[in-house]
Structure 1
Amino acid sequence: MNNNWLKDKTRQVEIKVSADGSHTLFVPELDEHYHSVNGAYNESMHVFIEPALLHCKKTDISILEIGLGTGLNAFLTALHQGEKKIFYHALEKYPISTTAATQLNFAREAGEQQILTKLHELPWNAVGQLKPQFSLLKDEADLTTIQLCRKYDLIYFDAFAPEKQPEMWSEAIFQQLYDALNPGGILTTYCAKGVIRRTMQSIGFTMERLPGPKGKREMLRATKQ
Protein backbone atom coordinates (compact mmCIF):
# COMPACT_ATOMS: atom_id res chain seq x y z
CA MET A 1 0.00 0.00 0.00
CA ASN A 2 1.33 3.42 -0.95
CA ASN A 3 0.19 6.44 1.03
CA ASN A 4 1.65 8.78 -1.61
CA TRP A 5 -0.67 7.74 -4.42
CA LEU A 6 -3.25 10.40 -3.61
CA LYS A 7 -2.95 14.14 -3.16
CA ASP A 8 -5.66 13.78 -0.53
CA LYS A 9 -4.26 11.28 1.96
CA THR A 10 -7.70 10.33 3.32
CA ARG A 11 -7.93 7.42 0.88
CA GLN A 12 -5.25 4.80 0.29
CA VAL A 13 -4.86 2.81 -2.91
CA GLU A 14 -2.77 -0.03 -4.26
CA ILE A 15 -1.58 -0.59 -7.82
CA LYS A 16 -2.81 -3.82 -9.44
CA VAL A 17 -2.32 -5.42 -12.85
CA SER A 18 -5.56 -6.26 -14.67
CA ALA A 19 -6.05 -9.22 -17.02
CA ASP A 20 -4.99 -7.35 -20.17
CA GLY A 21 -1.74 -6.26 -18.50
CA SER A 22 -2.77 -2.67 -17.85
CA HIS A 23 -2.80 -1.16 -14.39
CA THR A 24 -5.76 -0.44 -12.19
CA LEU A 25 -5.92 0.85 -8.63
CA PHE A 26 -7.52 -0.92 -5.68
CA VAL A 27 -9.17 1.01 -2.83
CA PRO A 28 -9.13 -1.13 0.36
CA GLU A 29 -11.52 1.29 2.07
CA LEU A 30 -14.21 0.49 -0.52
CA ASP A 31 -12.97 -2.98 -1.51
CA GLU A 32 -13.22 -1.71 -5.08
CA HIS A 33 -11.02 -1.30 -8.17
CA TYR A 34 -10.86 1.81 -10.35
CA HIS A 35 -11.19 -0.34 -13.49
CA SER A 36 -12.26 -3.85 -14.41
CA VAL A 37 -9.85 -6.54 -13.23
CA ASN A 38 -10.67 -8.26 -16.55
CA GLY A 39 -8.77 -5.51 -18.39
CA ALA A 40 -8.61 -1.81 -17.56
CA TYR A 41 -7.44 -0.60 -20.98
CA ASN A 42 -9.91 -2.78 -22.88
CA GLU A 43 -12.81 -1.79 -20.61
CA SER A 44 -12.19 1.91 -21.21
CA MET A 45 -12.10 1.39 -24.97
CA HIS A 46 -15.26 -0.73 -24.91
CA VAL A 47 -17.38 1.43 -22.57
CA PHE A 48 -16.34 4.98 -23.38
CA ILE A 49 -14.20 5.39 -26.48
CA GLU A 50 -16.01 3.13 -28.96
CA PRO A 51 -19.71 3.68 -28.06
CA ALA A 52 -19.35 7.38 -27.19
CA LEU A 53 -16.32 9.19 -28.67
CA LEU A 54 -16.08 7.21 -31.92
CA HIS A 55 -19.88 6.97 -32.19
CA CYS A 56 -20.26 10.77 -32.03
CA LYS A 57 -20.34 12.41 -35.47
CA LYS A 58 -19.72 15.96 -34.27
CA THR A 59 -16.29 17.45 -34.90
CA ASP A 60 -16.37 19.99 -32.05
CA ILE A 61 -17.35 18.22 -28.86
CA SER A 62 -17.45 18.81 -25.12
CA ILE A 63 -16.95 15.82 -22.82
CA LEU A 64 -17.69 15.46 -19.10
CA GLU A 65 -16.05 12.62 -17.20
CA ILE A 66 -17.35 11.57 -13.80
CA GLY A 67 -14.27 10.18 -12.08
CA LEU A 68 -10.94 11.09 -13.71
CA GLY A 69 -9.18 8.47 -11.54
CA THR A 70 -6.05 7.22 -13.26
CA GLY A 71 -6.70 9.40 -16.29
CA LEU A 72 -7.14 6.37 -18.56
CA ASN A 73 -10.38 7.53 -20.20
CA ALA A 74 -9.01 11.02 -20.86
CA PHE A 75 -5.74 9.55 -22.14
CA LEU A 76 -7.49 7.21 -24.60
CA THR A 77 -9.75 10.05 -25.72
CA ALA A 78 -6.65 12.05 -26.59
CA LEU A 79 -5.17 9.10 -28.49
CA HIS A 80 -8.39 8.64 -30.50
CA GLN A 81 -9.15 12.33 -30.98
CA GLY A 82 -8.74 12.19 -34.75
CA GLU A 83 -9.86 15.45 -36.38
CA LYS A 84 -12.17 16.38 -33.51
CA LYS A 85 -11.80 19.53 -31.42
CA ILE A 86 -12.34 18.47 -27.81
CA PHE A 87 -13.06 20.24 -24.54
CA TYR A 88 -12.66 17.67 -21.77
CA HIS A 89 -13.99 18.39 -18.27
CA ALA A 90 -13.11 15.79 -15.63
CA LEU A 91 -14.36 15.69 -12.04
CA GLU A 92 -12.34 13.91 -9.38
CA LYS A 93 -12.75 14.10 -5.61
CA TYR A 94 -9.56 12.15 -4.85
CA PRO A 95 -6.82 13.01 -7.38
CA ILE A 96 -3.83 10.72 -7.55
CA SER A 97 -0.39 12.33 -7.30
CA THR A 98 1.64 13.14 -10.41
CA THR A 99 4.42 10.93 -9.04
CA ALA A 100 2.05 7.99 -8.86
CA ALA A 101 0.68 8.71 -12.33
CA THR A 102 4.13 8.24 -13.89
CA GLN A 103 4.08 4.60 -12.73
CA LEU A 104 0.93 3.71 -14.69
CA ASN A 105 1.60 1.56 -17.75
CA PHE A 106 -1.11 2.79 -20.14
CA ALA A 107 1.30 4.11 -22.79
CA ARG A 108 1.96 1.50 -25.48
CA GLU A 109 3.66 3.42 -28.29
CA ALA A 110 6.31 6.11 -28.63
CA GLY A 111 5.09 9.53 -27.55
CA GLU A 112 2.13 8.28 -25.57
CA GLN A 113 3.83 8.50 -22.17
CA GLN A 114 4.42 12.20 -22.76
CA ILE A 115 0.67 12.72 -23.19
CA LEU A 116 -0.17 10.73 -20.06
CA THR A 117 2.44 12.57 -18.00
CA LYS A 118 1.24 15.97 -19.20
CA LEU A 119 -2.36 15.01 -18.45
CA HIS A 120 -1.47 14.54 -14.80
CA GLU A 121 0.93 17.50 -14.61
CA LEU A 122 -1.55 20.07 -15.87
CA PRO A 123 -2.87 22.19 -12.97
CA TRP A 124 -6.18 21.45 -11.31
CA ASN A 125 -9.18 23.77 -11.53
CA ALA A 126 -7.86 25.54 -14.62
CA VAL A 127 -8.17 24.91 -18.35
CA GLY A 128 -4.95 23.58 -19.91
CA GLN A 129 -3.91 22.43 -23.36
CA LEU A 130 -3.17 18.71 -23.46
CA LYS A 131 -2.76 18.50 -27.24
CA PRO A 132 -3.59 20.71 -30.23
CA GLN A 133 -7.38 21.07 -30.30
CA PHE A 134 -7.67 19.30 -26.93
CA SER A 135 -8.44 21.45 -23.88
CA LEU A 136 -8.55 19.83 -20.45
CA LEU A 137 -10.21 21.08 -17.28
CA LYS A 138 -9.54 18.91 -14.23
CA ASP A 139 -11.86 19.83 -11.37
CA GLU A 140 -11.02 18.61 -7.89
CA ALA A 141 -14.69 18.40 -7.07
CA ASP A 142 -17.58 16.20 -5.97
CA LEU A 143 -20.47 15.71 -8.40
CA THR A 144 -22.94 15.62 -5.50
CA THR A 145 -22.10 19.22 -4.58
CA ILE A 146 -20.81 20.89 -7.76
CA GLN A 147 -23.02 23.03 -10.00
CA LEU A 148 -22.51 22.15 -13.66
CA CYS A 149 -22.52 25.36 -15.69
CA ARG A 150 -21.55 23.97 -19.11
CA LYS A 151 -23.27 21.88 -21.75
CA TYR A 152 -21.78 18.61 -22.96
CA ASP A 153 -22.08 16.28 -25.93
CA LEU A 154 -20.71 13.20 -24.18
CA ILE A 155 -20.64 12.06 -20.55
CA TYR A 156 -18.36 9.25 -19.39
CA PHE A 157 -20.05 8.06 -16.20
CA ASP A 158 -17.30 6.12 -14.44
CA ALA A 159 -18.22 6.35 -10.77
CA PHE A 160 -17.65 3.42 -8.43
CA ALA A 161 -20.41 0.79 -8.45
CA PRO A 162 -23.87 1.64 -7.01
CA GLU A 163 -23.38 -0.62 -4.00
CA LYS A 164 -20.13 1.24 -3.18
CA GLN A 165 -21.27 4.82 -3.94
CA PRO A 166 -25.09 4.82 -3.99
CA GLU A 167 -25.21 8.62 -3.76
CA MET A 168 -23.62 8.84 -7.21
CA TRP A 169 -26.40 6.82 -8.88
CA SER A 170 -29.44 8.71 -7.65
CA GLU A 171 -32.27 10.17 -9.70
CA ALA A 172 -31.09 13.67 -8.75
CA ILE A 173 -27.61 12.98 -10.14
CA PHE A 174 -28.91 11.65 -13.45
CA GLN A 175 -31.35 14.56 -13.74
CA GLN A 176 -28.41 16.93 -13.30
CA LEU A 177 -26.47 15.12 -16.00
CA TYR A 178 -29.47 15.00 -18.34
CA ASP A 179 -29.88 18.75 -17.96
CA ALA A 180 -26.16 19.26 -18.69
CA LEU A 181 -26.29 17.36 -22.01
CA ASN A 182 -26.93 19.00 -25.35
CA PRO A 183 -29.79 17.53 -27.43
CA GLY A 184 -28.48 14.34 -28.98
CA GLY A 185 -25.89 14.04 -26.23
CA ILE A 186 -24.75 10.62 -25.05
CA LEU A 187 -23.94 9.16 -21.62
CA THR A 188 -22.23 5.77 -21.37
CA THR A 189 -21.55 3.68 -18.29
CA TYR A 190 -20.37 0.16 -17.51
CA CYS A 191 -23.32 -0.40 -15.14
CA ALA A 192 -26.40 -2.06 -16.64
CA LYS A 193 -28.47 -2.68 -13.50
CA GLY A 194 -32.20 -2.59 -14.18
CA VAL A 195 -32.89 -0.01 -11.48
CA ILE A 196 -30.28 2.35 -12.99
CA ARG A 197 -31.66 1.90 -16.51
CA ARG A 198 -35.23 2.54 -15.34
CA THR A 199 -34.21 5.60 -13.35
CA MET A 200 -32.48 7.14 -16.35
CA GLN A 201 -35.37 6.24 -18.63
CA SER A 202 -37.87 7.93 -16.28
CA ILE A 203 -35.87 11.17 -16.52
CA GLY A 204 -36.10 11.19 -20.31
CA PHE A 205 -33.06 9.32 -21.60
CA THR A 206 -33.47 6.92 -24.51
CA MET A 207 -31.73 3.79 -23.26
CA GLU A 208 -29.73 1.14 -25.11
CA ARG A 209 -28.32 -2.02 -23.60
CA LEU A 210 -25.08 -2.80 -25.41
CA PRO A 211 -22.79 -5.83 -25.05
CA GLY A 212 -20.55 -5.26 -22.06
CA PRO A 213 -16.78 -5.52 -21.80
CA LYS A 214 -15.14 -8.77 -20.75
CA GLY A 215 -16.67 -9.95 -17.50
CA LYS A 216 -19.95 -8.01 -17.95
CA ARG A 217 -22.91 -9.11 -20.05
CA GLU A 218 -24.23 -5.60 -20.76
CA MET A 219 -23.48 -1.87 -20.46
CA LEU A 220 -25.67 1.19 -21.01
CA ARG A 221 -25.74 3.98 -23.56
CA ALA A 222 -28.21 6.77 -22.85
CA THR A 223 -29.14 9.50 -25.35
CA LYS A 224 -30.91 12.81 -24.76
CA GLN A 225 -33.32 13.34 -27.64
Structure 2
Amino acid sequence: MKQVITKDGSITFHSEEYDETYHSVSGAVEEAFKKFVEPALEFVKGKQEVRILDIGFGLGYNSAAAMDRILEANLHCEITIIGLEKDKEILDKIKELKPMIMTYHAIQEMVENNYKYNREGIKINLMVCDAVKAIKKVKGKFDIILHDPFSPKKNPELWTQAFFKELRKHIKKEGVLTTYSCAGEVRRNLKKAGFKVFDGPVVGRRAPGTIAVPITR
Protein backbone atom coordinates (compact mmCIF):
# COMPACT_ATOMS: atom_id res chain seq x y z
CA MET A 1 0.00 0.00 0.00
CA LYS A 2 1.74 3.13 -1.25
CA GLN A 3 1.69 6.37 0.75
CA VAL A 4 0.64 9.50 -1.14
CA ILE A 5 1.12 13.09 0.09
CA THR A 6 -1.82 15.20 -1.11
CA LYS A 7 -1.69 18.88 -2.03
CA ASP A 8 -2.78 20.12 1.41
CA GLY A 9 0.10 18.17 2.99
CA SER A 10 -2.08 15.43 4.45
CA ILE A 11 -1.40 11.77 3.77
CA THR A 12 -3.51 9.20 1.96
CA PHE A 13 -2.73 5.79 0.50
CA HIS A 14 -3.16 4.07 -2.84
CA SER A 15 -5.22 0.88 -2.80
CA GLU A 16 -3.79 -1.91 -4.93
CA GLU A 17 -7.14 -3.73 -4.93
CA TYR A 18 -9.09 -0.77 -6.34
CA ASP A 19 -6.19 1.05 -8.03
CA GLU A 20 -7.34 4.35 -6.53
CA THR A 21 -6.29 6.58 -3.65
CA TYR A 22 -8.44 6.66 -0.54
CA HIS A 23 -8.85 10.44 -0.81
CA SER A 24 -8.63 13.22 -3.34
CA VAL A 25 -4.99 14.00 -4.12
CA SER A 26 -5.97 17.69 -4.16
CA GLY A 27 -6.17 17.49 -0.36
CA ALA A 28 -7.35 14.59 1.81
CA VAL A 29 -8.17 16.57 4.95
CA GLU A 30 -9.53 19.52 2.98
CA GLU A 31 -11.95 17.15 1.22
CA ALA A 32 -13.08 15.70 4.56
CA PHE A 33 -13.94 19.10 5.99
CA LYS A 34 -15.30 20.89 2.94
CA LYS A 35 -16.94 18.19 0.84
CA PHE A 36 -18.26 15.83 3.51
CA VAL A 37 -18.66 17.62 6.83
CA GLU A 38 -19.37 21.31 6.31
CA PRO A 39 -22.41 20.73 4.03
CA ALA A 40 -23.92 18.57 6.80
CA LEU A 41 -23.48 20.99 9.69
CA GLU A 42 -26.66 22.97 9.03
CA PHE A 43 -28.66 19.77 9.52
CA VAL A 44 -27.37 19.20 13.07
CA LYS A 45 -27.23 22.80 14.25
CA GLY A 46 -28.36 23.08 17.88
CA LYS A 47 -28.58 19.33 18.44
CA GLN A 48 -27.35 17.96 21.75
CA GLU A 49 -26.80 14.48 20.30
CA VAL A 50 -25.58 13.60 16.81
CA ARG A 51 -25.40 10.14 15.25
CA ILE A 52 -23.09 9.58 12.26
CA LEU A 53 -22.78 6.63 9.89
CA ASP A 54 -19.44 6.59 8.05
CA ILE A 55 -19.41 4.33 4.97
CA GLY A 56 -15.88 3.65 3.75
CA PHE A 57 -14.24 4.76 7.01
CA GLY A 58 -10.71 4.47 5.62
CA LEU A 59 -8.30 6.60 7.66
CA GLY A 60 -11.12 8.16 9.68
CA TYR A 61 -10.59 11.70 8.37
CA ASN A 62 -14.30 12.28 7.67
CA SER A 63 -15.42 11.17 11.13
CA ALA A 64 -12.68 13.16 12.86
CA ALA A 65 -13.48 16.27 10.82
CA ALA A 66 -17.14 15.87 11.78
CA MET A 67 -16.24 15.66 15.46
CA ASP A 68 -14.06 18.76 15.17
CA ARG A 69 -16.75 20.91 13.58
CA ILE A 70 -19.64 19.67 15.73
CA LEU A 71 -17.70 20.19 18.98
CA GLU A 72 -16.53 23.63 17.84
CA ALA A 73 -20.18 24.64 17.64
CA ASN A 74 -21.27 22.79 20.79
CA LEU A 75 -18.59 21.45 23.11
CA HIS A 76 -21.15 19.40 25.07
CA CYS A 77 -22.75 17.65 22.11
CA GLU A 78 -22.75 13.86 22.43
CA ILE A 79 -21.52 12.14 19.26
CA THR A 80 -22.02 8.52 18.24
CA ILE A 81 -20.21 7.20 15.15
CA ILE A 82 -20.68 3.85 13.45
CA GLY A 83 -18.01 3.21 10.84
CA LEU A 84 -17.92 0.54 8.12
CA GLU A 85 -14.57 -0.46 6.63
CA LYS A 86 -13.48 -3.83 5.23
CA ASP A 87 -9.77 -3.12 4.68
CA LYS A 88 -7.86 -3.79 7.88
CA GLU A 89 -4.60 -2.76 6.21
CA ILE A 90 -5.73 0.87 5.88
CA LEU A 91 -6.90 0.88 9.50
CA ASP A 92 -3.43 -0.20 10.60
CA LYS A 93 -2.03 2.99 9.02
CA ILE A 94 -4.07 5.26 11.30
CA LYS A 95 -1.76 5.12 14.32
CA GLU A 96 1.19 6.56 12.40
CA LEU A 97 -0.60 9.64 11.04
CA LYS A 98 -0.71 13.22 12.34
CA PRO A 99 -3.37 15.05 10.31
CA MET A 100 -4.42 18.58 11.25
CA ILE A 101 -7.60 17.40 12.94
CA MET A 102 -7.93 18.03 16.67
CA THR A 103 -10.01 14.96 17.53
CA TYR A 104 -7.96 12.47 15.48
CA HIS A 105 -6.52 11.04 18.69
CA ALA A 106 -9.95 9.50 19.33
CA ILE A 107 -9.74 7.66 16.00
CA GLN A 108 -6.26 6.41 16.88
CA GLU A 109 -7.33 5.26 20.34
CA MET A 110 -10.34 3.50 18.80
CA VAL A 111 -8.08 1.46 16.52
CA GLU A 112 -5.82 0.53 19.45
CA ASN A 113 -8.86 -0.51 21.53
CA ASN A 114 -10.33 -3.20 19.28
CA TYR A 115 -12.18 -0.62 17.15
CA LYS A 116 -14.18 0.87 20.01
CA TYR A 117 -13.99 4.24 21.76
CA ASN A 118 -16.21 5.63 24.52
CA ARG A 119 -14.98 8.72 26.35
CA GLU A 120 -16.16 12.24 27.14
CA GLY A 121 -19.42 12.04 25.23
CA ILE A 122 -17.92 10.44 22.11
CA LYS A 123 -18.70 6.86 21.11
CA ILE A 124 -17.11 5.23 18.07
CA ASN A 125 -17.76 1.67 16.94
CA LEU A 126 -16.06 0.43 13.79
CA MET A 127 -17.36 -2.64 11.97
CA VAL A 128 -14.51 -4.26 10.04
CA CYS A 129 -16.42 -6.06 7.30
CA ASP A 130 -18.02 -5.64 3.89
CA ALA A 131 -20.46 -2.70 3.94
CA VAL A 132 -23.10 -4.48 1.83
CA LYS A 133 -23.37 -7.15 4.53
CA ALA A 134 -22.71 -4.86 7.49
CA ILE A 135 -25.44 -2.33 6.67
CA LYS A 136 -28.07 -4.99 7.37
CA LYS A 137 -26.70 -5.33 10.91
CA VAL A 138 -26.56 -1.62 11.66
CA LYS A 139 -29.18 -0.49 14.17
CA GLY A 140 -30.88 2.86 14.59
CA LYS A 141 -31.10 6.00 12.47
CA PHE A 142 -28.52 8.68 11.82
CA ASP A 143 -28.36 12.45 11.49
CA ILE A 144 -25.43 12.32 9.06
CA ILE A 145 -24.32 9.65 6.59
CA LEU A 146 -20.83 10.16 5.18
CA HIS A 147 -20.69 8.08 2.00
CA ASP A 148 -17.08 7.66 0.88
CA PRO A 149 -16.40 4.37 -0.93
CA PHE A 150 -14.08 4.06 -3.89
CA SER A 151 -15.48 5.33 -7.19
CA PRO A 152 -18.69 3.96 -8.72
CA LYS A 153 -16.56 2.42 -11.47
CA LYS A 154 -14.29 0.55 -9.05
CA ASN A 155 -16.66 -0.03 -6.11
CA PRO A 156 -20.10 -0.24 -7.83
CA GLU A 157 -21.85 -2.34 -5.18
CA LEU A 158 -21.88 0.62 -2.76
CA TRP A 159 -23.53 2.98 -5.27
CA THR A 160 -26.56 0.91 -6.25
CA GLN A 161 -30.22 1.69 -5.73
CA ALA A 162 -30.41 -1.34 -3.43
CA PHE A 163 -27.59 -0.10 -1.20
CA PHE A 164 -28.99 3.43 -1.08
CA LYS A 165 -32.34 1.95 -0.04
CA GLU A 166 -30.58 0.40 2.94
CA LEU A 167 -29.11 3.80 3.79
CA ARG A 168 -32.55 5.38 3.42
CA LYS A 169 -33.80 3.07 6.19
CA HIS A 170 -31.07 4.37 8.48
CA ILE A 171 -31.37 8.13 7.98
CA LYS A 172 -33.49 10.37 10.18
CA LYS A 173 -36.24 12.31 8.42
CA GLU A 174 -34.27 15.54 8.95
CA GLY A 175 -30.92 13.85 8.24
CA VAL A 176 -28.43 14.31 5.40
CA LEU A 177 -26.12 12.18 3.27
CA THR A 178 -22.98 13.71 1.78
CA THR A 179 -20.70 12.19 -0.85
CA TYR A 180 -18.02 13.27 -3.29
CA SER A 181 -19.62 11.81 -6.43
CA CYS A 182 -22.05 13.69 -8.66
CA ALA A 183 -22.26 10.96 -11.32
CA GLY A 184 -25.61 10.81 -13.09
CA GLU A 185 -26.20 7.16 -12.26
CA VAL A 186 -25.35 7.77 -8.59
CA ARG A 187 -27.87 10.58 -8.35
CA ARG A 188 -30.53 8.57 -10.20
CA ASN A 189 -30.03 5.68 -7.78
CA LEU A 190 -30.31 8.04 -4.80
CA LYS A 191 -33.57 9.44 -6.17
CA LYS A 192 -34.99 5.97 -6.80
CA ALA A 193 -34.05 5.03 -3.23
CA GLY A 194 -36.07 7.92 -1.79
CA PHE A 195 -33.66 10.85 -1.63
CA LYS A 196 -33.76 14.36 -3.02
CA VAL A 197 -30.35 15.47 -4.31
CA PHE A 198 -28.51 18.79 -4.50
CA ASP A 199 -25.07 19.93 -5.60
CA GLY A 200 -22.46 19.90 -2.89
CA PRO A 201 -19.39 22.15 -2.85
CA VAL A 202 -16.66 22.00 -5.49
CA VAL A 203 -13.44 21.12 -3.68
CA GLY A 204 -10.32 20.14 -5.58
CA ARG A 205 -12.20 18.24 -8.25
CA ARG A 206 -13.89 20.14 -11.06
CA ALA A 207 -17.31 18.70 -10.27
CA PRO A 208 -19.41 19.27 -7.13
CA GLY A 209 -20.17 16.64 -4.54
CA THR A 210 -23.71 15.53 -3.75
CA ILE A 211 -25.95 16.36 -0.81
CA ALA A 212 -28.95 14.04 -0.39
CA VAL A 213 -31.89 14.34 1.98
CA PRO A 214 -34.70 11.83 2.49
CA ILE A 215 -38.02 12.50 0.80
CA THR A 216 -40.70 12.39 3.48
CA ARG A 217 -44.36 11.92 2.74
TM-score interval for Structure 1 and Structure 2 normalised by the shorter chain: 0.7 to 0.9
Q: How far apart are the structure 2 equivalents of 1:116 and 1:107? A: 13
Inter-CA distance 107–122: structure 2 relative to 1 (3 Å threshold) = farther
Please list, as runs of the form range in 1=range in 2, the aligned pairs for 1:2-17 lying within 5 A after superposition. Answer: 13-17=1-5
Residue in 2 that maps onto 1:51: 39
1:93 matched to 2:86? The reply is yes
Could you tell me how far apart the structure 1 residues matched to 2:24 and 2:189 are? 24
Q: Greater share of helix residues, 1 or 2? A: 2
Relative distance call for 1:210 and 1:117 in structure 2 (3 A) is closer
2:192 to 202, 209, 215: 202
Please state how far the C-alpha of 1:108 moved relative to its aligned partner. 6.0
Deviates more, 1:179-188 or 1:209-218: 209-218
Which letter does structure 2 place at the counterpart of 1:195?
E
- With over 3 angstroms needed to count, the CA separation of the structure-2 counterparts of 1:115 and 1:14, relative to structure 1, is same
The counterpart of 1:77, out of the listed 57, 66, 87, is 66
Picking from 19, 23, 40, the partner of 1:31 is 19
SS at match of 2:96: coil
Q: Which amino acid aligns with 1:100?
A: K
Structure 2: stretches of 5+ with no match in the other structure: none
Which amino acid is 2:155 matched to? Answer: Q
- Residue 106 of structure 1: aligned partner: 99
Residue-pair matches, total: 208
Seen in structure 2, the aligned counterparts of structure 1 residues 167 and 113 have a Cα distance that, compared at 3 Å, is closer
Q: Distance in 2 between matches of 1:108 and 1:86?
A: 16
Give the superposition deviation at 1:14: 1.4
What residue is the counterpart of 1:118 in the other structure?
109
Describe the SS at the equivalent of 1:102. Answer: helix
Q: SS of the residue aligned with 1:197?
A: helix
Alpha-carbon separation, structure 2, partners of 1:113 and 1:181: 25
User: Once the 2 structures are TM-superposed, how far is the Cα of residue 216 of structure 1 from its aligned partner?
Assistant: 3.1
Code of the residue aligned with 1:199 in structure 2: it is: N
- Hey, what does 1:4 align to over in structure 2? none
* Preserved CA contact (<8 Å) 2:27 2:204: yes
Distance in structure 2 (CA, Å) of the matches to 1:164 and 1:207 = 22
Residues 26 and 33 of structure 1 are in contact (CA less than 8 Å); yes or no, is this contact kept in structure 2?
yes
Consecutive unaligned residues in structure 1, runs of 5 or more? 1-12
Q: What RMSD over aligned residues (CA atoms) do the two structures have, in Å? A: 1.9
One-letter amino acid matched to 1:139: M
Structure 1 54/135 Cα, relative in aligned 2: closer, same or farther at 3 Å?
Answer: farther
Q: CA deviation at 1:213?
A: 1.1
AA matched with 2:81 = Y
TM-score by length of 2: 0.88
SS of alignment partner, residue 150 of structure 2: coil
Q: Distance in 2 between matches of 1:117 and 1:154?
A: 22
The corresponding residue for 2:51 is: 62
